[in-house]
Chain A
Amino acid sequence: MVQLGEFSLWIALLMAAWCATLTMQGAVMRRAALTASGARGLYAALFFLLLASLGLAIAFVTDDFSLRYVALHSGKNVELLYKLCAFWSDTAGELLLASFLVALMGSVTSRVVLRADTDRRRAAWTVAVIGLILAGLIAGTAFGANPFMHLPRAQGDGRGLDPMLRNTAMFAQIPLMLLGAAGAAAACALAAGGAIRQSFDGALFLRLRSAATESWGFLSASGLIAAHWAYVSPGLRAILLKNPAVVASMAAWTILSLFLVGVELAHTMRAPQSEADVMRRRAGRVLAGVGVALCVAAAAVHSRTKNYDVQLGDGEQYSATDAWGHDWSFTSQGASRLERPGDDVISLGLIASRDGVRQPFISTESRQYYTGGGLDVFPAQTVPAVRSSVSQDLLIILSDAGEGRAVLRISFIPLVELDWAGGVLLALGAVLLFWPPKIGSVA
């Protein structure tokens, strides 16, 4: 299956190139048969990219360490969920997944425009642009970062997945981000088709708005997940901001936001609407308004955040006051060291009490990862203790531990939960508000 996957990647490249070439010819020569053949090339590319993706996923699941990408990002002791996540943990896998998702969104878009667009040449140009984007992505995967590249000698075990990426958020964040980026590519193709033919009508504008709103929704969901993940994983933000796919997605999200807000402002000044659209938009406005209010309320009290840098000996107690004036005490239970195959864990236990009332036991960890030869394979990682409630989050990060003493930071951050709830409501409300009316539903 891995061999079939590798072979399929090259066939998909051929099909995407065929799609771009034939649909362009079809648009220039006004021949529907060439456009139909090019569109079939796009659907075939989708099929072969599915095979290629399945091939790589199976290589991860079956621990095929003859592939360089698998050996670098997975290992025998990595759990099944994270073996699947390792698929998109680096550029090669991200490009392959992005190619598959662009082919998927592009196939849906091309099927719609080829059936419904009255301007056949504009539809052909739209499919041609999708084919060009797809061919570029697959060529980048196949020639620049091929995940099917073999090692000269198969390894007994892999390096493992970067512990920073071993989080359930990894399963959804990157695929949602790439799905949003694929939607943005489809929207670009629609806009490019209109621009080449210099014909923008109401139907094209509605299609463009739908594609942009879908893409914006996926990118927003991915952004919220990434923000929450970075909040509980110190150091992740730097990794994400170095990822070109993340940076490109942030740029796409900003451009789409400006476009959709601009359209929304222009739309409210004109256009009669059906009753269903009025209801939907009203619900969107309410949700977005509540979301903004929650975010503003949370931002207003963030200045009350309290941070304490503490050095605590075994058995010692430290007292602190939280954002709302409650007295807390933390008693160190001492640091313990656990040596496991592949990593050392230093864990600090704390007994906490608030206003004299005993709270659940808290532990924060620092982990170091090494190979059999004793070399560090991944940077040391801190796993903070997070206690969330509606009023505030208690965050404890272990900076250092040794010889009966531990250095840690204790933070009380007020109304963080409101921030997340506000963000989710704002995104949901904006999607309802931005979604265009159905063609023909306008009164």
Chain B
Amino acid sequence: MTALAVGALLAVAAMVWVIAPVFASMDPPRDAADLETRAPSAAADDAAEAAIRKWRRTEK
């Protein structure tokens, strides 16, 4: 591999590393991402059902 090819590879790697923080800041917020992929929880379901039942009773 010639010196210039090594230089070009290093330059590209450096550019990617240098620009990375700018793209990282464009990612969606971690909390929102977590919401989409969070595993279902039985306790959360029970709590939600209890809240809905309570709301229906108060409505009546």
With a cutoff of 8 Å between Cβ atoms, the chain A residues found around residue B7 in the complex are 3-4, 7-8, 11, 51
Spot the interface stretch: B10-18, B30-38, B48-56.
B10-18
Q: When chains A and B are docked, how far (Å) is the Cα of A33 from the Cα of B10?
A: 23
How far, in Å, is B13 (CB) from chain A's closest CB? 9
Query: Which chain B residues border A4 with CB–CB below 8 Å?
Result: 3-4, 6-7
Residue from the list A31, A32, A41 in contact with B18, Cβ < 8 A: A41
Contact B22 A47 (CB under 8 A): no
Most chain A C-beta atoms within 10 Å of own C-beta, residue among B6, B8, B20, B22: B22
Residue among A22, A37, A47, A51 facing the most chain B CB atoms (10 A cut-off): A37
- Chain A residues with Cβ below 8 Å from B10 are 8, 11, 48, 51
Is B25 touching A15 in the complex (CB atoms < 8 A)? Answer: no
Q: Which of A2, A31, A36, A44 contacts B14 (CB 8 A)?
A: A44
CB nearest neighbor in B for A33: B25
| 8 Å CB interface, A186-208 against B | none
Which of chain A's residues has its CB closest to B14's CB?
A: A44
Q: Which residue of B lies closest to A41 (CB)?
A: B18
Whether A1 sits at the interface, judged by CB under 8 Å, is yes
- Please determine whether A7 and B21 come into contact, CB atoms closer than 8 angstroms: no
- Partner of A34 from the list B4, B8, B22 (CB cut-off 8 Å) is B22
What is the minimal beta-carbon distance from B48 to any residue of chain A, in angstroms? 37
Give CA–CA (A18, B18) in the complex, Å.
Answer: 9
Q: Which residue of B lies closest to A4 (CB)?
A: B3
Q: Produce 1/0 per residue, A27-71, CB < 8 A to B.
A: 000011110110011001001100100000000000000000000
Interface pair A15/B18, CB less than 8 Å apart? yes
- For residue A426, give the distance in angstroms from its CB to the closest CB of chain B: 44
B47 adjacent to chain A (CB < 8 Å): no
Interface residues of B, CB < 8 Å — how many? 17
B42 near A: Cβ within 8 Å? no
Cα(A40)–Cα(B7), bound, Å: 18
B24 touches A (CB below 8 Å): yes
**Chain A residue with the shortest CB-CB distance to B25:** A33
Measured between beta carbons, the chain B residues less than 8 angstroms from A36 are 21
Min CB gap B14→A, angstroms? 4
Contact of A37 among B6, B8, B22 (CB under 8 A): B22
Tell me if B19 is interfacial: C-beta within 8 Å of chain A: yes
Tell whether, in the assembled complex, residue A11 and residue B11 are in contact, meaning their CB atoms are under 8 Å apart. yes
- Known contacts: A40-B17, A47-B14. The answer to whether A33 contacts B22 by CB under 8 A is yes
Shortest CB-to-CB span from A323 to chain B, Å, is 60
- Verify A31–B11 contact, CB threshold 8 A: no
| Chain A residues closer than 8 Å to B3, beta-carbon distance | 1-4, 7
**Pair A33/B21 contact, Cβ less than 8 Å:** yes
Chain A contacts for B8, CB-based, 8 A = 7
Docked pose: A47 CA to B10 CA in angstroms: 10
B residues adjacent to A (C-beta < 8 A): 2-4, 6-8, 10-11, 14, 17-22, 24-25
A-B contact pairs, 9 of them (CB 8 A): A1-B3, A3-B2, A4-B4, A4-B6, A11-B11, A36-B21, A37-B21, A41-B18, A48-B11
**What 10 pairs between A and B have smallest CB-CB spacing?**
A33-B25, A7-B7, A3-B3, A36-B21, A4-B3, A44-B14, A40-B18, A37-B21, A11-B11, A33-B21
